[in-house]
Amino acid sequence: MTRIFIFITYLLFSVSSFSQTKISYSKEKLKGSYKWLDRYVVIDNDTMYGYNSSLSQNEIKYFCDNLNDKKILRLYKDVVYNNLDCGKYEHVNSKQWASEIIVYFDKSIPKKIQKDFKKFFSTIKVENLKINFTRNKEKSNYLIKTTEDIIPDLETIKEKGEAHPYNLVTYNFMGDNNSKFYSGILRINTKLIKDKSLILSKLKQMFFVGLGQFTFDKDVKENSLLSYKYNNSEVLSNEDAALLNLHYLKIQDTPLNCHFFSTFIKDLQSKCKL
């Protein structure tokens, strides 16, 4: 039995590729004043939320030199939290992979697709995100396979045609109650995809989206994996690289919502001026 399924006995939540669009946000907004006490934020009902902005000098320097950019920070809020001003969906939390991702391709995935996929993602170098590939299913925690299921079961996406990123491909992850992922399955219905050139681009896009539970964005360039009109670029775009490096700048002790992320960034920006 593979590592993908071993985790099921104790992991506490699962996430699908449609959770960003189908979640019903029923929790009430946090009301009242906020007080910051180093690692914690205390709201006026005396509830404490973990917060830790500690980074090494090298990490701070990397942020200041490469990621302290208004456009990137705004895009990050948009694709991670679904909003720019932190007023909407304010309790959406960031999600990260806390373990090395070890990908296994089922034999049903064409070898050329496997080769090109591996070549693309093997070039990604992010300090706190490790992606590797294996031919041994028992050593994997991420399975990519075909399916004959009709994906998705959403008429609105079907109507947009097979080129839509969510059409005929989906993923499911297992993780803990701290918004950390440990295993996953990415499935694609290759039989129903008429334009076979879309298979690689769909797998690349959905795999990337799953690295941070990102959302697609209509304003990014077409060489971005988060574009609805992705041009299947052979290299990772500068935008996508910046988003990944920002998302994995630190493996957070607890997940950050939009407000906590904003404070985390302000702390870093204050250090850039020193």
Contact by Cβ (8 Å): 183, 97? no
> What length does the chain have?
274
Q: Tell me: do 167 and 85 sit in the same domain.
A: no
Contact by Cβ (8 Å): 169, 202? yes
Residue 121, CB-side half-sphere exposure with 13 Å CA sphere: 25
Which of 6-20, 173-187, 209-223: highest mean pLDDT? 209-223
* Pure H helices in 3-151: 3-6, 19-22, 57-62, 70-81, 111-121
- Residue carrying structure tokens 């797998």: 203
Q: Tell me: do 165 and 105 sit in the same domain.
A: yes
- Residue carrying structure tokens 């694709």: 79
Q: Tell me: do 78 and 165 sit in the same domain.
A: no
Q: Tell me: do 169 and 209 sit in the same domain.
A: yes
Q: Tell me: do 67 and 185 sit in the same domain.
A: no
Q: Tell me: do 89 and 100 sit in the same domain.
A: no
Q: Tell me: do 165 and 137 sit in the same domain.
A: yes
**Does 76 map to a domain?**
yes
Beta strands in 17-139 (DSSP E): 34-37, 40-43, 48-50, 96-97, 101-105, 131-133
Q: Tell me: do 219 and 125 sit in the same domain.
A: yes
Element (H, E) at 48: strand 48-50
Comparison of pLDDT for 142 and 44, the residue scoring more:
142
- The CATH number linked to 236 is 3.40.390.10
Q: Tell me: do 183 and 48 sit in the same domain.
A: no
Q: Tell me: do 106 and 235 sit in the same domain.
A: yes
**Does 24 map to a domain?**
no
Domain boundaries, position 180:
96-240
pTM for the whole structure: 0.80
Q: Tell me: do 101 and 199 sit in the same domain.
A: yes
The count of domains in the chain is 2
For 139-168, write each residue's pLDDT tens digit.
999 999 999 876 655 555 666 778 888 888
Return d(Cα 7, Cα 102) in angstroms, integer. 14
**Does 23 map to a domain?**
no
For 90-112, write each residue's pLDDT tens digit.
678 899 998 999 999 999 999 99
Q: Tell me: do 151 and 226 sit in the same domain.
A: yes
